[in-house]
Amino acid sequence: MTNQHDTRPFSAIDIHTHVVPETFPAYTGVGRDVPWPSMAPAHACHAHVMIEGKVYRTVHQSAWLTEERTKDMDSRSIGMQCLSPMPELLSYWLPPKDAQQLIRYVNDQIASMTARFPTRFCGLGAVPLQDVELAVRELEYVMRDLRFQGVELASHVNGVSIADARFDPFFAAAEKLGAAIFVHALRPIGQDRIVGPVSEQAACFPGDIGLCAASMITGGMAERHPNLRIAFSHGGGVLPVLLGRLNRAWDLTARLREALPQQPGAYARRFYYDAIVFEPATLRLMMEIYGATQIVLGSDYPFAMGEPDPVAFLQRCALDPGTEAAILRENAERFLGLAA
């Protein structure tokens, strides 16, 4: 199946796209000054996401309109998108029960979108990870009731890395349920050191996601949960540069060798990484370090800092047909549990 205006295969799976609901329910909790989101009109075809009375982000209607998304997908030769919440909607800073209420609403909105086009969309929901017990319950809901492929997590929960042992019960539950985990940067470290008119997404996300991935290895989470399917946004950020140093530290440090039976690089080759890196040379480095089987397509749709045409980017990388096919679809099927 191909687009009549494009000879490229119409089967690619984009694992990194985001949803913002058209509206949010009114806050009904008992807290004070809770940063509950709302929507406000903006210019044509857009709306403002409002948090604490301020515009957090202005989003296009394709953030919630399925028909608009499928048209854009057709024009870019994307067969399926994984729908995950705009990261700010993960809401780790809300009181846990408030977060669970908001997240449940967002998850149900994603479920409605996937139900309209079940062959074009699949779901990666959210969980209130600031309360591990509630997070496990919501994970069970999205996997068993909504039939999602998994969930999106941020790299940290209010400054605590998701690699911290306190989150172990959640990852054990995800492993048992066969949930795919997509990890996204959010409120990254280093924002106070940016100089010049550049966004945190451009300058700080790679460091944030790379440190998270490294900590999932050095903290033992990957060792304790060998069957966990986990993918990192933005190509895994700086992780390729860190791995040589981590491997060297493993060679030199008895305590690290006691904690990890294998070199850090071996664990990194079990993770998945999206291809939102913009430079063919960077993608080739990722393939050399992680293996071509671990790279999946991503766009960050519908946000401007994303890759506008991920299939075209992959073609610019001049890969052999088998590798291109793997990154376009086959690796994502394995990560999402669709291969069977």
Structure tokens at 118: 């079940």
How many other CB atoms are found less than 10 A from the CB of residue 131? 18
Determine the pLDDT at residue 9. 52
Distance CA 150, CA 132 (A): 16
Q: Say if residue 81's pLDDT is above 90.
A: yes
Give the model confidence (pLDDT) of 35-71 as tens digits. Answer: 999 999 998 899 999 999 899 999 999 999 999 999 9
More confident position, 303 or 44: 303
Instruction: Give the tens place of pLDDT for each residue, 140-168.
Output: 999 999 999 999 999 999 999 999 999 99
Architecture of the domain made up of 12-17+65-336: Alpha-Beta Barrel (3.20)
Please answer whether residues 138 and 97 qualify as being in contact, where contact means their C-beta atoms are separated by less than 8 angstroms. no
Sheet containing strand 37-41, strands side by side: 37-41, 46-51, 54-60
Whether this prediction's pTM lies above 0.85 is answered by: yes
User: Rounded to 5 degrees, what are φ and ψ at 188?
Assistant: -75, 155
Query: Amino acid letter at 245?
Result: R
- Give the pLDDT band of residue 10 (cuts 50, 70, 90): low
The band of 7, judged by pLDDT with boundaries at 50, 70 and 90, is very low
Burial call 212-247: b when 16+ CB within 10 Å, e when fewer:
bbbbbbbbbbbbebeebbbbbbbbbbbbbebbeebe
Average pLDDT of the chain, as a whole number: 95
pLDDT at 1: 36
**Residue 6 confidence (pLDDT):** 44
Distance of CA 88 to the CA centre of its chain: 12
pLDDT in tens, 216-236: 999 999 999 999 999 999 999
Cα separation, 330 vs 335, in Å, equals 9
Q: Which tens digit of pLDDT belongs to each residue from 117-129?
A: 999 999 999 999 9
Question: In this predicted structure, what is the pLDDT of residue 339?
Answer: 75
Give phi and psi for 53, each to the nearest 5: 75, 5
Q: Please name the residue that has the structure tokens 């919501």.
A: 138
The two tokens of residue 46 are 């857009």
What share of the chain in percent tops pLDDT 70? Answer: 97
Report pLDDT for 246. 98
Could you tell me the pLDDT band of residue 191, with boundaries at 50, 70 and 90? confident
Where exactly are the structural domains of the chain?
12-17+65-336
Task: For Cα atoms 328, 334, 338, give the angle at the middle one, nearest 5 degrees.
Answer: 95
Q: How far apart are CA 28 and CA 49, in angstroms?
A: 19
What's the rounded Cα separation, in Å, for the pair 129 and 93? Answer: 10
Q: Measured between alpha carbons, how far is 165 from 161 in angstroms, rounded to an integer?
A: 9
Q: Please tell me the predicted confidence (pLDDT) of residue 340.
A: 60
pLDDT at 283: 98
Phi, psi of 230 (to 5 degrees): -135, 135
Say which DSSP state 301 is in: B
Residue 1 Cα distances to 66, 218, 273, angstroms: 20, 44, 27
Q: Is-contact 233 202, C-beta < 8 A?
A: no
- Helical ranges in 14-124 per DSSP H: 66-75, 96-116
